[in-house]
Amino acid sequence: MKREGNCIIGQSGGPTVAINASLSGVLQGIFENKLYNQVYGMVNGIEGLLQDKFLNLSEIFTSQEELDRLTQTPAMYLGSCRFKLPTCEHSEDVYEDLFNFFEKHNIRTFFYIGGNDSMDTVLKLSNYAKENGKDVNVIGIPKTVDNDLPMTDHTPGFGSAAKYVATSLLEIAHDTYIYNIPSVTIVEIMGRNAGWLTTASILARTEYSPAPDLIYLPEVAFDMDQFIEDVKAIKEKRKNVIIAVSEGIKDCEGNYISASSGAVDAFGHKQLCGAGKTLENILKAELGCKVRSVELNVLQRSASHIASRTDLDEAVAIGKAAAKLGSEGETAKMVCYKRVSDAPYQVEIFSYDIAAIANQEKTVPLSWINERGNDLNEEAITYLRPLIEGEVHLSFRNGVPHYCNIAHLHDRH
Ligand code: F6P
């Protein structure tokens, strides 16, 4: 059903390699079914929109080839922001500005692709529209490598980051086993409060490589003495010890093990740096052998060359489903995946009330973690494996992937 008028789409929060696939899915859904007249894109999310920064996507993406390139382009074509929309009670003028913009450009639907903090924007805008009789509906589309949004089986972007983590752990194992000297390698993986991405390291294990030998998540309080004991015990049996740790591991009092830079983002989240480095220095002093830490950092969320086919295909599908939902006038909803079966792997798409999702965090089930808090069981593998299946064949130009032109993000004017 066509919704008269135009719509606008934004991307927000930390990037993944599938957010542009969701954007491409929304655009494909709209263009194929002629759901709106014009599709605008906010540059740098809601923050950019408040500065009148937007593009006309209907004029930019005029062929399937360009939409397919967008599907395979990492991070965010539209740019991002970490911006906490103030409450209406505190800053009604912000809402007035936004809704004046919507009126001026005849915008009927606002789509926002983001994580739990971005869903707070979806909730606030949809509440304001309802309370003030505005004919603008607001739809959330999930994304995050952290996989910590409730209600949805998983989030777009997680599967590709998980594939990067599993592949990198396997490749690090190959690199580590070459020397005939004892060593410990610590791999630090993203995830402040939820260790989903670190769980994916278990998928690196093969019939010839047990790496990672130890896995530590923020869901379990980290005990330094026990950690040193665990490493020593593995070292007795094997020449090389390979460890996966979440950036957000905390002690029993909730203090991060990593050094904190002291900086916080707009949502008050601490910017973490160096759980792996901290553990490296402690183990060097304790063991006296070669110890190295590797921080996967932004590589794990921008590596389109090792994206999961399943992830990208699903991200396009969830974008198309969001376009349909928006055009039907639904509001205050986020589109979600429901897992119908593990083997054969099958998902369906449905939508759920944003109020139950915004600002909530879903963590790894404790039933997947062993008693000592340093490994995971088969349930984790059953959940994770299908999400990383399938490869993406990128087109290359001059030896590097041919991605969308994003000059509009780095030009200052
Ligand atoms: O929100 C996703 C995420 O990638 C987290 O896993 C990570 O802690 C955070 O973003 C880092 O954010 P930024 O890139 O803004 O420093």
Q: Is the CB of 15 under 6 A from ligand 1?
A: no
Pairing of strands 214-216, 107-114: unpaired
Beta bridge partners of 293: 186
Please state the CATH superfamily assignment of the domain spanning residues 158-300 in this structure: Phosphofructokinase domain (3.40.50.460)
**Nearest CA among 362, 364, 358, 363 for reference residue 116:** 358
Which burial class, exposed, middle or buried, applies to 50 when counting CB atoms under 10 A from its CB (0-12, 13-18, 19+)?
middle
Indicate the top mutation candidate among 143, 149, 192 to test ligand 1's pocket, ranked by most ligand atoms within 8 A of CB.
192
Round to whole Å and give the CA distance between 239 and 226: 20
Q: Is the CB of 144 under 6 A from ligand 1?
A: yes
Q: How confident is the prediction for the chain on average, in pLDDT?
A: 95
Q: Give the per-residue pLDDT at 3.
A: 79
Atom 13 in ligand 1: which residue has the minimum CA distance? 14
* For the CA of 191, the nearest atom of ligand 1: 6
Q: Give the per-residue pLDDT at 276.
A: 95
Q: Any idea where the domains of the chain sit in the sequence? A: 6-144+304-359+391-410, 158-300
Q: How far is the CA of 13 from the centre of ligand 1 (A)?
A: 8
- What is the CATH T-level fold of the domain 6-144+304-359+391-410, as seen in this structure? Rossmann fold (3.40.50)
Enumerate residue ranges in the chain where pLDDT < 50.
Answer: none
Round to whole Å and give the CA distance between 332 and 123: 6
Q: Is the CB of 195 under 6 A from ligand 1?
A: no
* For the CA of 269, the nearest atom of ligand 1: 8
Task: Tell me if domain 6-144+304-359+391-410 and domain 158-300 are identical in fold.
Answer: yes
Round to whole Å and give the CA distance between 120 and 126: 10
Q: Give the per-residue pLDDT at 259.
A: 63
Indicate the top mutation candidate among 190, 196, 245, 264 to test ligand 1's pocket, ranked by most ligand atoms within 8 A of CB.
190
The phi and psi torsions of 147 (rounded to 5 degrees) equal 55, 35
Pairing of strands 240-246, 270-273: unpaired
Q: Please provide the DSSP assignment of 225-268 as one string.
A: HHHHHHHHHHHHH-SEEEEEEETT-B-TTS-BSSEEEEEE-TT-
Q: How far is the CA of 269 from the centre of ligand 1 (A)?
A: 9
Question: What beta strand segments (E) does 32-106 contain?
Answer: 39-42, 54-56
**SS3 for 54?**
strand
Q: How far is the CA of 14 from the centre of ligand 1 (A)?
A: 5
Atom 3 in ligand 1: which residue has the minimum CA distance? 14
The structure's pTM equals: 0.95
Q: Give the per-residue pLDDT at 4.
A: 84
Atom 4 in ligand 1: which residue has the minimum CA distance? 14
Q: Please report where in the chains the tokens 């006038």 appear, as a residue.
A: 329
